[in-house]
Amino acid sequence: MKRLILTRHAKSSWDDPTMADHDRPLNERGKAAAADLGQWLASRGYVPEEVLCSDALRTRKTFSGIAPALPGTPVLELKPALYHAGPDVMMAVLRHGKADTVMMIGHNPGIAEFAHRLVSKTPPSHDFTRYPTGATLVVDFAIDSWADVGFGQGVPVDFVVPREIDA
């Protein structure tokens, strides 16, 4: 059994219109949402051992906000290929996962399509289609190795968006 925690980065700042997209930080709402996500994950025992994260600043800061709530320290791997990746690239990165529970942090629109293609049935949330900032899917796969993961195999365990979390 393998578990994926699939998280879209938290809300980012658009305060500086001259800033490169890759370098945008989280805004205050995003920082709070990342901390809430960390608490939510830890409270439910959804604890990654490995994190595959886009190298954009907003994805790295999302993980930095989540991490303090997690027991232990997952292995963080920055993956430039995940920056605005589509589903096929995301799948290729996931197939190199090593841990039983992997977290992947990425961007829309690719992460929303990736989530939809992963699951065998859609979670009962209207937000799943939009996959807004901070959206997090927990999905299990009946596989022995991430190399064997495929689309349509995932069984949704949980799904949340930050505004639903009672911090």
Residues 19-48 have a mean pLDDT of 96
DSSP H helical segments within 67-108, as ranges? 87-94
Q: Please give the pLDDT value at position 92.
A: 98
Q: How confident is the model at residue 15 (pLDDT cuts 50, 70, 90)?
A: confident
Q: Please give the pLDDT value at position 62.
A: 98
Instruction: Report the mean per-residue pLDDT for the chain.
Output: 96
From 107, 27, 10, select the one nearest 67 (Cα to Cα). 10
57-66 and 28-43 helices cross at what angle (nearest 10)?
50
**Order of all β-strands in the sheet with 75-78:** 75-78, 50-53, 101-106, 2-8, 136-141, 155-160
Q: How far apart are CA 107 and CA 130, in angstroms?
A: 12
Q: How far apart are CA 122 and CA 112, in angstroms?
A: 12
Summarize pLDDT for 95-110 with one digit per residue, the tens: 999 999 999 999 999 9
Which range among 12-21, 25-34, 59-68, 104-113 shows the weakest confidence by mean pLDDT?
A: 12-21
Q: How far apart are CA 46 and CA 105, in angstroms?
A: 15
